């Protein structure tokens, strides 16, 4: 529907979601965006924002009104000054998106995933055996990061120095937001690793037999536009590393805070995936993804102008009391899998979601089978990153 003159514009909000304080404790910003109106206008960033479950789901999936071709970040990649090559999977709309997605799904065949399950299990069990006697750990650095930074790049068949991952990850997720101090500093910090960055995704650098090599083979068979295989591999690495580290970190945190939920998992380890999904509902790693309005449109009686960015506040939507009763409670039996929006919605819904769940399931089961419980052993702290919610420190006591 096009806008009529009687419709009102979305109310303006003068808040800044991207201060370190608001990023580490986002609840007040989430509530302001979600509860003020169905759509609000963030004056500081000259863009719309949505935070209600229904509208975030709509904006993420209705590509006829909310396109991904302007980029999933805050700046419009089609405009001078912000121009960059679009991601050949995340920043295209259907129908173009359909073929690319189909080719990727084919490469991610059940045979590949079965092989990954065996490899991930071997690593998780060895790491759990090694850590169990430690008693106290900082779970992000001692458990979660080493696990994901071992299994995921190996599975993709990419050989990149491990110390580069957190720096490049932080830069990527800052860049999806505004060009503020956090972005500037993280670009600087990642700088030394960026020189050879493209090289890690070249055809010659792909590890034999890995997923990356299969992506190049799919390009040779015409499954992707020529010259995009390397960027596809890079998109996978970018999208799947820090998000999964964050998600497993949140799961361990919630299980430590809620011993009765740990007890449920211990009794039935098949609930590991549900424990992960409920944790990423509560603390969504990917807090914010953008779309762009394709024309002047009406949304719930509000007039939105065309060609303006729309921030989809996923973290706010996953705490929407209209959709989730008692939204801040962590309940692994809630049934949030397939309902929450932490993995997106519509045609761009996370293509790696089952890989993330597999990693979480294997690591959680390795821990739950060896420990009688986990307890917080100090204050957990968050890392301020413009669009990623992740823990910086998670001190845990492991009780064997």
Q: Is residue 391 a contact point for ligand HEM (CB under 6 A)?
A: no
> One symbol per residue from 288 to 327: x for binding ligand HEM (CB under 6 A), - otherwise; what is it?
-x--------------------------------------
CB 333 within 8 A of CB 48: no
Secondary structure of residue 138 in the 3-state scheme: strand
Secondary structure of residue 335 in the 3-state scheme: coil
For residues 330-369, which are near ligand HEM according to CB under 6 A?
342-344, 348, 350-352, 355-356
CB 363 within 8 A of CB 143: yes
Candidate segments 219-227, 235-243, 302-310, 322-330, binder of ligand HEM by CB under 6 A: 235-243
Q: How far is the CB of 389 from ligand HEM (least distance, A)?
A: 9
- DSSP for 221-252? TTSS-TT-HHHHHHHHHHHHSHHHHHHHHHHH
Which DSSP state fits 286? Answer: B
Q: How far is the CB of 162 from ligand HEM (least distance, A)?
A: 17
Secondary structure of residue 46 in the 3-state scheme: coil
CB 374 within 8 A of CB 367: yes
Q: Is residue 281 a contact point for ligand HEM (CB under 6 A)?
A: no
Which DSSP state fits 41? Answer: E
For residues 89-118, which are near ligand HEM according to CB under 6 A?
89-90, 101
> One symbol per residue from 64 to 93: x for binding ligand HEM (CB under 6 A), - otherwise; what is it?
----x---x----------------xx---
Which residue's CB atom is positioned nearest to ligand HEM?
Answer: 352
Q: Which of 58, 228, 243, 293 binds ligand HEM (CB under 6 A)?
A: 243
CB 101 within 8 A of CB 88: no
CB 350 within 8 A of CB 343: yes
Task: Provide the binding-site residues for ligand HEM, judged by CB under 6 A.
Answer: 60, 68, 72, 89-90, 101, 235-236, 239-240, 243-244, 247, 280, 285-286, 289, 342-344, 348, 350-352, 355-356
């Amino acid at each position: 529907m096009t806008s009529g003159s009687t419709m009102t514009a979305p109310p303006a909000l003068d808040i800044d979601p991207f201060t370190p304080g608001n990023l580490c404790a986002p609840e007040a910003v989430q509530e302001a965006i979600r509860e003020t109106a169905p759509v609000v206008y963030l004056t500081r960033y000259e863009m719309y924002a949505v935070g209600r479950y229904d509208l975030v789901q709509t904006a993420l999936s209705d590509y006829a009104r909310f396109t991904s071709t302007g980029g999933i970040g805050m700046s419009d990649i089609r405009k001078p000054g912000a121009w960059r090559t679009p991601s050949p999977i995340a920043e295209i709309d259907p129908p173009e998106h359909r073929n690319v997605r189909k080719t990727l799904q084919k490469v991610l065949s059940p045979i590949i995933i079965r092989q990954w399950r065996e490899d991930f299990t071997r690593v998780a069990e060895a790491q759990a055996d090694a850590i169990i006697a430690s008693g106290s750990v900082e779970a992000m650095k001692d458990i979660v990061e080493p696990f994901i930074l071992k299994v995921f790049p190996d599975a993709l068949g990419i050989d990149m120095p491990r110390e580069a991952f957190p720096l490049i990850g932080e830069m990527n997720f800052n860049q999806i937001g505004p060009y503020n101090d956090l972005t500037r500093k993280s670009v600087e910090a990642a700088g030394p690793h960026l020189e050879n960055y493209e090289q890690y995704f070249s055809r010659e650098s792909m590890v034999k037999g890995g997923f990356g090599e299969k992506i190049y083979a799919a390009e040779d068979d015409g499954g992707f536009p020529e010259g995009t295989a390397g960027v596809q591999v890079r998109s996978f690495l970018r999208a799947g590393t820090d998000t999964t580290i964050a998600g497993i970190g949140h799961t361990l945190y919630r299980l430590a805070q809620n011993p009765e939920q740990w007890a449920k998992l211990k009794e039935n380890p098949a609930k590991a995936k549900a424990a992960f999904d409920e944790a990423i509902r509560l603390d969504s790693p990917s807090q914010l993804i953008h779309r762009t309005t394709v024309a002047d449109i009406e949304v719930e009686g509000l007039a939105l102008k065309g060609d303006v960015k729309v921030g989809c506040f996923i973290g706010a939507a996953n705490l929407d009391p209209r959709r989730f009763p008692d939204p801040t409670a962590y309940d692994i039996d809630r049934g949030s899998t397939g309902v929450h929006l932490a993995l997106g919605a519509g045609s761009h819904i996370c293509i790696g979601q089952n890989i993330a769940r597999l990693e979480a399931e294997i690591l959680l089961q390795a821990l739950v089978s060896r420990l009688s419980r986990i307890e917080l052993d100090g204050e957990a702290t968050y890392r301020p990153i413009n669009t990623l919610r992740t823990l910086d420190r998670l001190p845990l006591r492991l009780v064997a």
